[in-house]
Structure formats: C-alpha cells, structure tokens
Structure 1
Amino acid sequence: MTMSPGAESTAPEVVAAAPVSRVWLFCFALAWFGFWLLVMLPGQFMVVKLASVIDATNKVTVGSFLIGEMAGVIVIGVPIIGWLCDRTRSRFGRRRTWVLAGFLTATIPFAWVGHQTSVVSVAILLGIVAIGQSAVLVSLSALIADRVPVVQRGRASAAMGVPQVIALAAGMIIVTELIPDVGWSWMVIAVLALLAPLPFVFGFSEPPRPADAPVRSLGLRRGLRRLHGYRDFGWATLSRVLINAGNLVGTTYLLYFLADVLGLADPDGALLVLILVYLAACAVASWAGGILTDRWKARRMLVCVSAALQAAAALVLALLPSWESSLVAAVLLGFGYGLFLSVDQALLTDLLPDETTRARDLGIANSAQHLPIAPIIGWAVLAVSGYSQLYIVAAAVIMLGGVTVLRIRSVR
C-alpha cells in the first residue's frame, strides 16, 4: 500500500499505539450515544415536529430554516474549536476538556427548546446547542486518531456509528411513545445525553499532547508538498459530505412524506416503525462493517457499496411511493448507511496528514459534513415540485458521493 507524503510522519506513532480495551470502546460508544441523542433526534424528528406545532402552515420553511441554522453554526464552529482543541493544554486532557464543555453547552439550552413558542427563541437556543455539538464532535473524533491503532479503527468507527442507530431508535420511542409531550421530551433527552459520556470522560485518561513542531518557513515547494498530503483527505471529505447530504435529503422530510403523500392516519407511528426497521438493518451492517473493514482494509469499495444501497432506497421511494415500498427502502437505507458509518470515519482517520493538527483537520471534515445542503435542496425541490423528485435528487447526490471516493489513491 502506498502512502501520501503527509501520512509518513504519522505512521510511526500509529503503529506504536497500544490496542484499546473492550471497556474503552464501550464507554467511548456511550459518549457517542449521548452526542447522537442531541444530533439525530432534532434532525430526524424533533425539529420538524416542533415546527409543525409552532407554525403548521409554514412547517417546511420553519423546519428547514432551523435545521439549516444549526448546520451553519456547526460549519463555522467546528474548525475553530478544532484549532483550539489541538492547542489546549490541560491536566484533565485537551480532548476530554472539550468533550465535557461541549456536552454542558449543548444539553442545558437543549432542555428548554421544547418549551418555546416562537421561532426566534427556538433559533437562539438551537444555535447555542450547535456550538456545544461542535465541541463534542471535534474532540471525540480526534480521540480515534490519538488513541486507536490502525488495526482497530474499523471497530472504533463502529463504536462511533452504532450508537447513532441506538440513539435514534431509543430516542424515537421516548419522544413518540413514552413522552410525547413536546416540552418534556426535549428535557428528558437533554438529561440522558449529559449522563451518557460521564463514564468515558472521568474513567479514562488520554495520550499526552504531542510536542509542537518547530515553526519554520515552508517555502513554495515545501508548501505544495504539504498541500499534496491533503489530496486524498479532501476527496474523502467530499465523499462524506455528499453521501450524508443525500441521506439527509431523503430522511429529514420523511414525516411529511408519510402524512402528505401516503396519507397515513398516524404518520408519527408509521415513522417510528420505519426508523426501527431502518435502525435494525443499520446496526447489523455497522457492526459487520467495522469488522470487515479492519480485516479487508477495503475502505473505498465498502463506501461505494454503501452509497449504492442508499441510492437504491431513495429510488424505491421515488418510483414506488407506498407503505410496503417504504419498508423495503428502510431496509436498504439501513444496510447502506450502517456500512457507511463503520467505514467512513476509519477512512478519514487513516488519511490524516499531520498528527499535530488532527482535531483541526477532522473538524474541517466534520464541519463540511454539516453544510446545510439537505435543507436547501429540500426547500428548493419541494417549493416547485414533489417528493418523488426530491428522492431522485437524493439518490443522485448519494451516488456522486460514492463515485468521488474512487479518487482516493493512498488506501484501498
């Protein structure tokens, strides 16, 4: 296997990293579970539900604006916090400091979102929530590169991805069946999200901060070589952006699809059924994908397969809009996105060019992932057309992301 020039400097450190234990992976996954509660539930259900309560007439516009606002804050906040995280000096640990601060910043305002009655107050609170989410995303992502050796990164990526599935499934049951009241549902999710990361934050230390590289003038030739080290990392980031955007285009407006197109009497309950089917498939694929990508090291191929499955799911909804086809699409989407979750983070981590800027570089990749592409596409397409056209666009965006990953040359 060939390596990019920038990857050579990190190879010795990665090889020397001690394997992480199952307990470490479990607690790491628990921290991600708390994060995904704060991210997945608002994006998939809670924000659009709140928008329909605050302004039923303009629910698509309000929901798209709020989701887009959070994404915009994350796009700006993540690279800035990543730069600060790399330079943090703290006895508690530079990553753990930002993990804890991020969860506190996100969960406290999150608890009060559901009690608001105006778009302005909701937007203010969700903006603060997004800043906290940015800090958690940056610091937890960087810990994979800091602490986990290459041979375990597929499992670590699965420990990041599988909790996303569980958080959405458990959270949906809580907010639709156990605590359907809008105000209290936001508060309960906030409390659970704050408790989940505590075993990891206080139970494990982290590697020491690497020594600062000497400051030197790069020069034109040296600067171009350094930029070349980011080539494959850039293609992996673009692939992640497109696949996630296409997936969100297809899932964000699913509640409205069930109510307005299929005309189901209980769209909330139907959405819960679809999500549980989707998540069961997603959990199986994510767990299996983490093992397979560590064993085969075929990151690019698995990303392509995951994109094809997700695109197929979107096309099923576009061409055969029925309850039965929705169940088939949920299975396909679950297998595709679960496989993507277990491979994508491992792929990005393998391509990091510089060990001293891991949080910053992953921050840029993660912030790009949160560009408000999905709400913009959703608003634009639904303003002039229908849901069939929306899902065709989603399939096209996902497939473009699958093709993009083939531009990577330094890993399989």
Structure 2
Amino acid sequence: MSIVADAEQDTTPQHPVSVAWLFGFALAWFGFWLVVMLPGQFMVVKLSSVIAPLEKVAVGSFLIAEMAVVILVAVPLIGTLCDRTNPRFGRRRTWALGGFVVATVPFAVIGTQTSFPVVAVLLGVVALGEATVLVSLSAMIADQVPQRQRGRASAAAGVPQVIALAAGMVLVTMLVTDIAQSWLLIGVLALAAPLPFLLLMKEPQLPLVEDRPAVIRIPLTSGAYRDYYWGMLSRVLVNAGNLVGTTYLLFFLSDVLLIEDADGALTILILIYLAGCGIASWLGGVLSDKTRNRRVLVAVSAGLQAASALLLAFSPTWTSAIIAAVLLGIGYGIFLSVDQALMTDLLPNPTTRARDLGILNSAQHLPIAPLLGWLVLSFAGYSELYAVAAVIMAIGGVVVFRIRSVR
C-alpha cells in the first residue's frame, strides 16, 4: 500500500490549472450535459409521446434504459483503451473530440424519426459517444488537476449540468418547440461548445500503462479498492434516487396535479431547481477544497434530496413541488461538485484512471431509475414512487461513511 501511495503521489499533478482552463473545461462539460440531461429529463419522454402515445411510459423507459445500458457496457472498455493510447494530439483530447462527434451527429437527426426501432438505434450510437466523452473528460481531472483544486474542477464539471439543463429546457420548451428542430439545435450546440477547450488547451503527454512501474498495477479485487467501491455504491444510489424522482416529473404534473400546461410547469420547476443547484454546486466545490471533509457534504446533499422526494410523496401539491425543487437543487448541486472530487481522491491506481473512472461513471448509469419507475408505476402511484426515491437517496448518504481513507 505504501508503494502504491507513493506512486500515486508522484503522478498527482502539482501545478494549478488556470482560470481559462477551468472555463474551457466547463464549456466542454456544458456540451456533454446538453446531450445527456435533456433526453432523460424531457426530450425522450416528449418524443415517445409522439411516436407511441399509447405506450409512452414503456417506450420512454425503454429508450432511457437502453442508453444507460450502452454507457454501462461501453465506459469501462473505452476507459481501458483511452489509458493505453497516446496520440500526439493528446490522450484525453483525442477521445473526447471523437466522442462528441459520435454523440452529436446522430443526435441531431433523431427528431426527424417516427420509427421506434430507428430511434432506438440512433440513441444507442449517441450513448456510445457520450460514454467516450464521459471517460475522457473525467480522467482530465485526475491527470491535470492537483488535489487542492479538484473541488473547483468538479464544480466546473457539475455547474454546466445545471446551466445546460436550464438553457436547454428554455430552448426546447419555449423557443424551439418543433421536435425535429429542437434535436438538431441541441446537437449543434453540444458539438460547438467543447471545441475551444479541445482545440486550444494543450494536454500534457502521459506515459503509457506499459511504461509505468509494474508495482503500481493493482487488481480491481485488491483491498486498495475497498473505499472506491463504497464511494461507487453511494454515487449509484444517490443518482438513482434523484433520477427516479425527476424522470417522471412531467407525468406527475399532468396526471397527478392535473396541470394543463405541464410542459410550462416543468420548465418553472427545473429553473428553480437549477438556480439552487448552480449556486450550491460552486459553493460546495470551494467548501470541499477548503475543508477536505467531502463525506459529510455528500451525506448532507443526499439528505436534502431525500427530503424533497418525501415532500412530493406525502404532499402532492404545486406549492410542495416548488419547495421540493429548491431542496433538490441545493442537494444535488452540492453532490455534483463534492462527489466527483471525493471519487477522484479515492482512485488507488494512477495507471488506470480512465478505466477506474469509467467503471465508476458507468455504474451510476445502471438503469435503476427507469426500471423502478416502470415497476412502481405499474402497481402503485407517484406517492410510492417518490417514497422509494427518498429511501434510495438516504441509503446513499449513509453508505458514504463506510469510506475510511479520506474525510
């Protein structure tokens, strides 16, 4: 263990990244989150209600689950390949640029399709590109950012999720409501956003895995990965609970609260949620860098999100929905910045950062949310659905304290 720790210390970046680097990094993540968040939160559900109106819940759940499965399988494989290549343009930059192209080109034409099988195939290709981008951008934090800045770098990855969802929802629900045009617009924006960072910011050359000392090659079954797996479980549970609660919010507003303009109501809630999320994400990143007590902040974030779900479960009103949006936004904002920094600190093997982050990030895309949503809503109602979401997130907040190697 001491040899592994020394190797990790030797390969941990020591020079701080610049503000320009963080801003460009945030732009790249903004493009990624556009093609990840909008389909799951609105665009796939909306499309499924058009191509299969009588089976909209089943079709929407299948498409979201399909993308999750593709990411789940592809990410660790792509991570291993990314660790074992070293192109002159830059290991992570090359894979990220290729991933953006693979994700956004088919994304742009999905809105013109009326066939469910065609949509499913195209979304599978999109998910493959998303997996590639996720691997490469996540590994950049471990490769290039020193530990004292990882909270800020994680916030630079997390805050754009908020902005992308807010701006994207305004675009696709208010400004460009035509389905075909909305998918095209988001695809173009997602490809344009990362180009300044990927083309202008130089990436340091890293030695290949084969060129590293053999002594720091740690098997995934090693005890050195104990805390890594506990952190993974915490992340999976919190993300799954959050998605269980948010994926079907449009149907909750229309079918339970009986709001006539459910699209508009959803946009209002998302904007409230994202305002709290953006502020909390940046402050959470700064606070975690200063205190290094990341476990407590993850637990607090899980508790706030669980409280928001319970509010919807036991008080299904418009007022409760607004309060829940505030709690969920603050909780998830803290989680976005702190959890990524926590998991980067837990990486036990510097030679396999992309692979390990890939496994971690693919695990959080397990199709728990759509499967649970379909199961619960088949036999019960939305109150039970949000109660399940609350329990899952609360467990995720408790599990994080099983981590021992970092605070």
TM-score (norm 2): 0.97
Residue 13 of structure 1 is matched in structure 2 by: 11
Pairwise CA distance, 1:11: 1.5
Match of 2:267, SS? helix
TM alignment of 1:104-123, pairs within 5 A:
104-123=101-120
- CA deviations over 1:383-410 (Å, ceiling 9, x no partner): 0000000000000110111111100000
Q: Which amino acid aligns with 1:255?
A: L
Deviation at 1:56, TM superposition (A): 1.3
Q: Does 1:309 align with 2:280?
A: no
Give the distance between the partners of 1:107 and 1:305, measured in 2 at CA: 35
Matching residue's letter, 1:398: M
Instruction: Report percent identity of matched pairs.
Output: 65
The code of the aligned residue for 1:254 comes to L
Query: Corresponding residue for 1:58?
Result: 55
Gaps in structure 2 of 5+ consecutive residues: none
Aligned equivalents of 1:300, 1:68: Cα separation in 2: 29
In the alignment, structure 1 residue 161 sits paired with structure 2 residue 121: no
1:43 paired with 2:61, answer no
Deviations 1:323-351 (A, max 9, x none): 00000000000000000001011001001
Name the CA distance, whole Å, in 2 between partners of 1:277 and 1:371: 27
Cα shift readout 1:229-260 (whole Å, capped 9, x = no counterpart): 11111111111111000000000000000000
Aligned residues: 406
Distance of aligned partners of 1:336 and 1:5 in 2 relative to their CA distance in 1, 3 Å threshold: farther
Conservation of the 8 A alpha-carbon contact between 1:36 and 1:168 = yes
Alignment of 1:346 with 2:344, yes or no, is no
Are positions 1:410 and 2:391 aligned together? no
Structure 2: distance between partners of 1:181 and 1:5: 58
Match of 1:232 among 213, 227, 230: 227
Q: In the alignment, what sits opposite 1:140?
A: 137
Which residue is 1:391 aligned to? 386
1:197: which partner in 2? 194
Residues 63-83 of structure 1: CA deviation (Å, up to 9, x unaligned): 000000000000000000000
Q: For 2:275, which of 266, 280, 301 is the aligned residue?
A: 280
Deviation digits for residues 216-236 of structure 1 (CA, Å, limit 9, x no counterpart): 998xxx978971111111111
CA separation of 1:363 and 1:223: change in aligned 2, threshold 3 A: closer
Task: Give the 3 Å change call, closer, same or farther, for CA 4–265 of structure 1 in structure 2.
Answer: farther
The amino acid of 2:152's aligned partner reads R
CA distance in 2, matches of 1:48, 1:120: 16
- Which sits farther off after the overlay, 51-60 or 76-85? 51-60
Q: Find 2:181's aligned residue among 180, 184, 187.
A: 184
Task: Give the partner amino acid of 1:299.
Answer: R
Deviation at 1:214, TM superposition (A): 6.5
Q: 1:22 to 1:256 in 2, by over 3 A?
A: same
Pairing 1:150–2:183 present: no
- Equivalent in 70, 75, 79 of residue 82 of structure 1: 79
CA contact (8 A) 2:85 2:208 kept: no
CA deviation string 1:297-345 (max 9, x = no partner): 0100000000000000000000000000000000000000000001011
- Residue 292 of structure 1 corresponds to 287
Secondary structure of 1:58's aligned partner: helix
Corresponding residue for residue 257 of structure 1: 252
1:95 equivalent in alignment to 2:92: yes
Match of 2:370 in 1: 375
Report the counterpart of residue 365 of structure 1 in structure 2: 360
8 Å Cα contact 2:106/2:125 also seen in 1:
yes
Q: Residue in 2 aligned with 1:130? A: 127
CA distance in 2, matches of 1:290, 1:105: 31
Question: Could you say what the CA RMSD is over the residues aligned between the two structures, in angstroms?
Answer: 1.7
Work out whether residues 45 and 56 of structure 2, in 8 Å CA contact, stay in contact via their aligned partners in 1: yes
Asked if the contact 2:92–2:137 (Cα under 8 Å) also holds between the matched residues in 1, the reply is: yes
Cα distance in 2 for partners of 1:4, 1:325 equals 51
Deviation at 1:109, TM superposition (A): 0.3
Amino acid in structure 2 at the alignment position of 1:358: R
2:35 is aligned with what amino acid?
L
Partners in 1 of 2:125 and 2:401 — Cα distance? 37
SS at match of 1:57: helix
**Aligned-partner residue type, residue 75 of structure 2:** V
Read off the aligned partner of 1:18 and give its amino acid letter.
H
**Structure 1 residue 213 displacement after superposition:** 5.0
Shift of 1:210: 2.5
Partner of 1:22: 19
Report what 1:327 is aligned to: 322
Query: Residues 366 and 53 (structure 1 numbering): CA distance in 2 closer, same or farther, change over 3 Å?
Result: same
Structure 1 distance, partners of 2:329, 2:3, is 36
8 Å contact kept, 2:84–2:208: no
SS in 1 for 2:316: coil
Distance in 2, matches of 1:137 and 1:223, equals 23
**Partner Cα separation in structure 1 for residue 55 and residue 209 of structure 2:** 52
Say whether residues 1:269 and 2:267 are aligned partners. Answer: no
Q: TM-score, normalised by structure 1?
A: 0.96
CA displacement, residues 367-390 of structure 1 (integer Å, 9 cap, x when unaligned): 001010000000000000000000
Question: Is residue 74–residue 133 contact of structure 1 (8 Å, CA) maintained in 2?
Answer: yes
What amino acid is the match of 1:167? A
Please list every run of 5 or more consecutive structure 1 residues that lacks an aligned counterpart in the other structure: none
